Amino acid sequence: MTPAHAHGHARGALTAASVLAVLGIVYGDIGTSPLYAMRASLLLLSGGGVIAADVLGILSLIFWSLILVVTVKYVGFILRADNRGEGGIISLTALALRALPEGSRLRRVAVLVGIAGASLFFSDGMVTPAISVLSAIEGLQVVSPAMEPAVIPLAIAVLIGLFLAQSRGTGSMGRIFGPVTALWFAVLAVLGLVQVVQNPAVLVATSPAHAWHFLLDHPLASFIALGAVVLAVTGGEALYADMGHFGARPIRFAWLFIVLPSLLINYFGQGALLLADPSAIANPFFLLAPEILRLPLVLLATLATIIASQAMISGAFSVARQCVQMGLLPRLEVRHTSATEEGQIYLPQVNFLLLVGVLLLVVTFRSSDALAAAYGIAVTGTFVCTSLLAIIVFWKHFRWPLWIALPVFSAFLLIDATFFAANLLKVPDGGYFPVLLGTALFLLMTTWQRGRDLLFARFRQDGLPLRSFIARLPQSRTLRVPGIAVFMTSQAEYLPGALLHNLKHNKVLHENVLFVTVTNESIPHVGPERRREVEELAPGIHRVSLHYGFQESPNIPRELESLRELGIPFEPMQTSYFLGRETIVAAAVPRLSGWRQWLFTLMSRNAVPATEFFRIPSDRVVELGVRVAI
């Protein structure tokens, strides 16, 4: 996702460098939650002002949410779902699919849950930069009310600069992530500790009794407030998503000994301030600091929110590439911004769409309080999807007895579902945004997946088995011409349509022919020993299967050059790549509804050409058109 490896630590090693890197990359999002979570939670309560019981009740809910959702669920259980070192919603989906038989109903359910989780993750990726940067710059209003008109323009300028910087890579920015975030957590702890020492009675909120009585005394108001309490655990998914960069040990250590204590001390500090001065609800975070330090705190908070936003943007790039490799999205342009780090990528289309979405959010909602309504649904929806997939993974993949896996993760699912239901109440006030965006992305991904399945089924139905063609070749007297022909095909057992068209129009076959199939595995990375499988079908004709993980980007010419080690001649300047360009048309009895047919065709036309995606030299490519009815 982000430039974790630039920190020079070995994945999984518990070193000062790895912990510092984890602070900068993993915990930026949840680390900036104190800017808005406490205030947003209390503002949702009805009544005439802030009272002590409400403050202690909200504090208790935040405390136990951080303990149960992040510490127990993610740190204690979900981090165990290690997909060959990788984590995240797509990785968890791949782990579930690997444990389920093809065609089973549970497998189809797992795919849909994974798609829903990925869709909501992208929604989160838009809301996080908007609410984080806006909440930090709103601190200027605490410094001087006269600066209020500058908040929106400054937030827009910071966000535009952040997205424009993506094309240059994040390696240089990554070097400051860790130290700045470490300073941020130190400041959180110090600011909170000062207030807690002055009013230690606030610590009684660690008792779940305060949360319980708050829920019982104000059932409706407390249920509404849960929609904002969940803002304290946003970023919890990042613990799991970034596991591939660091390993579980540094992530666990940083959470238990640095991040969690700092967050709790700051939240209790805000609570202590509010107990002493209820008017501090105007902005309890920035009012923790003495007046002389508020402007530097605004600058530090802005840096911290930029880091949190960068982590989400880089995460969106990574998840988008994983969705492409898993067949859930059409091919997208992937640019590698580092010559040495595979994870440092830039996707121009995704970056542009994120920027447009983030700016629309800032201009439409205009404050972090208003944006809080749009934030919780995406986060809690992803939590629900993770818990559902975890039941399958721990039951089927890790072989837990169902009577253990089901109660354990159903308990977490109940908490997640409660948070999600509370956030649904905010749909009219802004929660419609992640719902609409998530629904649109869900329809895009399911349409693309269904369309691809029908397309491949049509290829198999109309195609000529490859071995039948090879068997007839000696009797066909087909003229062989010098050179190397590479035919890209998604169906390894069938003859590519491009070859049939080439024979039909040119009536020749090259001396050396390679049928190349790219297979995307449900694992993050494929080792060199499993990268390629080569089979000789006839003299001068070979079938080559290339395997890639969902964290990898294919490079066909580079892999084909390695065939020389096996004695297969391959000269780049004598090679022609034959690709089929499919034109999708409706079948006599369409298998897709009209709007889905249109949508799939639109996505197919706008997909990045195979030449770019597979890094094939464009001047060596021959494209042959094929009409396919689905």
- Return the DSSP state at 392: H
Residue-averaged pLDDT of the chain: 86
Amino acid 3: pLDDT: 38
467-476, 523-532, 620-629 — which is least confidently predicted?
Answer: 620-629
Phi first, then psi: what are they for 101, rounded to 5°? -70, 150
Amino acid 82: pLDDT: 83
Phi first, then psi: what are they for 36, rounded to 5°? -135, -20
Strand order in the sheet with 575-585: 532-538, 541-548, 508-520, 479-488, 575-585, 621-629
User: Which residues on adjacent β-strands are paired with residue 532?
Assistant: 546
Is residue 261 pLDDT above 60, yes or no? yes
Average pLDDT over residues 264-280: 94
CA 406, 412, 416, 419: dihedral to nearest 10 degrees? 130
* CB 88, CB 314: distance < 8 Å: no
Q: What is the DSSP string of 301-339?
A: HHHHHHHHHHHHHHHHHHHHHHHHHTTSS-----EES-S
Amino acid 344: pLDDT: 66
H or E stretch at 480: strand 479-488
Rounded distance between C-alpha atoms, residue 423 and residue 226, angstroms: 8
* CB 138, CB 367: distance < 8 Å: yes
Spell out the domains of the chain, with CATH numbers in brackets. Answer: 4-428 (1.20.1740.10), 463-629 (no CATH)
Q: How many CA atoms lie within 13 A of 364 on its CB side?
A: 18
* CB 508, CB 67: distance < 8 Å: no
Question: Checking DSSP bridges between strand 532-538 and strand 508-520, what pairing results, if any?
Answer: unpaired
H or E stretch at 583: strand 575-585
- Return the DSSP state at 340: S
Average pLDDT over residues 74-90: 86
Amino acid 83: pLDDT: 79
115 or 344: which carries more pLDDT confidence?
A: 115
Token pair for residue 168? 């240059």
Rounded distance between C-alpha atoms, residue 230 and residue 37, angstroms: 8
3-state secondary structure 97-148: HHHCCCCCHHHHHHHHHHHHHHHHHHHHHHHHHHHHHHHHHCHHHHHCHHHH
Rounded distance between C-alpha atoms, residue 409 and residue 431, angstroms: 26
Amino acid 174: pLDDT: 58
Amino acid 62: pLDDT: 95
Amino acid 8: pLDDT: 38
Is residue 117 pLDDT above 80, yes or no? yes
Rounded distance between C-alpha atoms, residue 402 and residue 411, angstroms: 14
Is residue 591 pLDDT above 70, yes or no? yes
Give me the helix-helix angle, 89-99 and 105-137, nearest 10°.
170
Closest by alpha carbon to 118, among 308, 345, 316, 312? 316
Residue with tokens 């939240």: 267
Residue-wise pLDDT for 24-66, tens only, equals 878 888 998 998 889 888 887 755 567 888 999 999 999 999 9
